[in-house]
Amino acid sequence: MGLAISVGALADLQQEDPEGAQWVQDAMGEANVLLQQAGLPLHTEPAALPERNSRAMLDSFPYSFLHYLRRAYAHAALDGQWRATPLPEGEEPGEDPVLDDAMTMFDSHLICHSDCEGFYFPIVFDEVIFADDEHPLLGGMLGSSYKLREELVTVAPALGIFLLGDELGDDEAERVNARIEAEDGLHRELAAWLAAYEACRLSIAHKTAIVFN
């Protein structure tokens, strides 16, 4: 089992899995209730989309990869000069006290989100929205694709990723994929970063939600 990150879920399921498409529509309806309660615009998930080309070689991976990325972000947000090095064998990213402190702040869209469910919407808002017992289809949290991208841009230098502003060039995406394939020691962080960055890029470009499952 692992995390799969996708965009355009409703459009992809319309023909192949009507029941799955209905679940997405129902979940989006519940999400809109929470967005409205927060005073935010409602989200209309596209029922049809053009082809979306992610540059990430992986769009699913073990849940632990996300924890490695969250640890790196917690350090980078605290100290802009911090640079990631491979975590020593036997150490768990979730046990890092810097990440533990960041988790208590509830202000990071990367850190304060479920490992395996929930959505990010192409809407700008600062505070993560938490689902409740009245909205069981959501199961997790609602984040902003824009805020998630901002956090990914923040941690990029610490992972040795070179951006032009907040944009990832094609050559750099290829270089990151090569590092992932070579398992260069930061491949877990890089795989999660690139999959999340590409999901944000496509989410914002096509006005579609990012789905964690």
What DSSP assignment string belongs to 37-69? HTT-------S---------S-SEE-HHHHHHH
pLDDT at 16: 87
Inter-residue contact 75 to 98 (CB < 8 Å): yes
- Measured in whole angstroms, the distance separating CA 157 from the mean position of its chain's CA atoms is 18
Pure H helices in 84-186: 97-103, 145-155, 170-181
Give the contacts of 59 (CB within 8 A, at least 6 positions apart): 4, 5, 6, 195, 198, 199
* Per-residue pLDDT tens listing for the chain (213 residues): 588 999 999 999 988 899 989 999 999 999 999 999 999 999 999 999 999 999 999 989 999 999 999 999 999 999 999 999 999 988 999 999 999 999 888 889 999 888 878 899 999 999 999 888 788 777 778 999 999 999 999 999 999 999 999 999 999 999 999 999 999 999 999 999 999 999 999 999 999 999 988
| Distance in angstroms (rounded) separating the CA atoms of residues 47 and 14 | 7
What are the extents of the domains in the chain? 3-212
Inter-residue contact 74 to 102 (CB < 8 Å): yes
Give the contacts of 74 (CB within 8 A, at least 6 positions apart): 96, 98, 99, 101, 102, 108, 111
